[in-house]
């Protein structure tokens, strides 16, 4: 019997509900949650940086600004988002 060259390990983690909900809405039905999380961890450990401002769309920039200003993830329904809607 052949063994995997890079075997996987099952782990258990605890994350905030908002992060889990955001992840679930980000992934499509056929995407692997484990593969996504594993890739994110590798990117973080390898020092892969976030995209530059020039690479972000206007919607992504507004969401990033809202997160920095307010701290919530509810950009559509947040009353603090009035300033960003006018941009």
Burial of 84 (0-12, 13-18, 19+ CB in 10 A): middle
Q: Supply the range of the domain harboring residue 35.
A: 15-49
d(Cα 78, Cα 53) in Å, to the nearest integer?
Answer: 24
Residues 57 and 78 in one domain: yes
Residue 16 has pLDDT above 90, yes or no: yes
d(Cα 25, Cα 57) in Å, to the nearest integer?
Answer: 19
Query: What is the domain count for the chain?
Result: 2
Residue 73 has pLDDT above 90, yes or no: no
The pTM (predicted TM-score) of the whole model is 0.52
Residue 44 has pLDDT above 80, yes or no: yes
Does a structural domain hold residue 29? yes
Residues 34 and 24 in one domain: yes
Phi, psi of 17 (to 5 degrees): -55, -40
Does a structural domain hold residue 3? no
In sign, the C-alpha dihedral spanning 34, 40, 41, 43 is: positive
Residue 57 has pLDDT above 90, yes or no: no
Residues 45 and 58 in one domain: no
Does a structural domain hold residue 44? yes
Residues 40 and 63 in one domain: no
Provide mean pLDDT across the span 45-66: 80
pLDDT at 11: 93
Does a structural domain hold residue 10? no
């Amino acid at each position: 019997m052949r063994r995997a060259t890079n075997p996987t390990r099952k782990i258990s983690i605890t994350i905030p509900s908002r992060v889990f909900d955001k992840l679930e809405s980000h992934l499509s039905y056929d995407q692997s949650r484990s593969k996504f999380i594993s890739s994110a961890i590798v990117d973080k450990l390898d020092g892969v940086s976030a995209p530059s401002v020039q690479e972000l769309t206007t919607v992504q920039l507004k969401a990033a600004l809202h997160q920095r200003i307010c701290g919530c993830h509810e950009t559509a329904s947040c009353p603090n988002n009035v300033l960003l809607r006018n941009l």
